[in-house]
């Protein structure tokens, strides 16, 4: 059973990400510090965003691989149960 996200939830997530990233970038741009400090903080922001995407992808991939293994195990169990006859007498 697949659970799909609604369009409203998707839009909310995208807008939230865009707003938070923009707010932080504007905050860094208007900090009363030198250019090198501002550049360092900007690179830190980019690194944090890219590592968050990587982490989300790794978690998604692990979840999907566990689902596939679970489906294969479920199919094997269903096959064993469908072939099992509790009233069959061995050697008769």
Distance separating alpha carbons of residues 34 and 40, to the nearest angstrom: 10
Distance separating alpha carbons of residues 33 and 37, to the nearest angstrom: 6
Say what the pLDDT of residue 92 is. 57
Say what the pLDDT of residue 16 is. 93
- pLDDT bin (cut points 50, 70, 90) of residue 53 is very high
8-44: pLDDT as tens digits: 988 999 999 999 999 999 999 999 999 999 999 999 9
76 has a pLDDT exceeding 90:
no
Cβ(13)–Cβ(19) under 8 Å? no
Percentage of the chain beyond pLDDT 90 is 52
Domain boundaries, the chain: 7-83
Sequence-ordered list of residues with C-beta below 8 angstroms from that of 29, at least 6 positions apart, any chain: 38
Cβ(21)–Cβ(27) under 8 Å? no
- Cα four-point dihedral sign 16, 17, 18, 22: positive
Say what the pLDDT of residue 1 is. 54
Average pLDDT over residues 53-75: 83
Predicted TM-score (pTM) of this structure: 0.61
């Amino acid at each position: 059973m697949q659970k799909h996200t609604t369009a409203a939830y998707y839009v909310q997530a995208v807008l939230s990400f865009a707003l938070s990233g923009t707010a932080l970038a504007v905050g860094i741009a208007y900090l009363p510090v030198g250019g090198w400090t501002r550049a360092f903080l900007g690179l830190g922001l980019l690194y944090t965003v890219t590592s968050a995407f990587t982490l989300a992808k790794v978690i998604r991939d692990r979840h999907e691989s566990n689902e596939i293994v679970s489906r294969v195990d479920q199919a094997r169990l269903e096959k064993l149960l469908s072939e099992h006859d509790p009233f069959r007498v061995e050697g008769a």
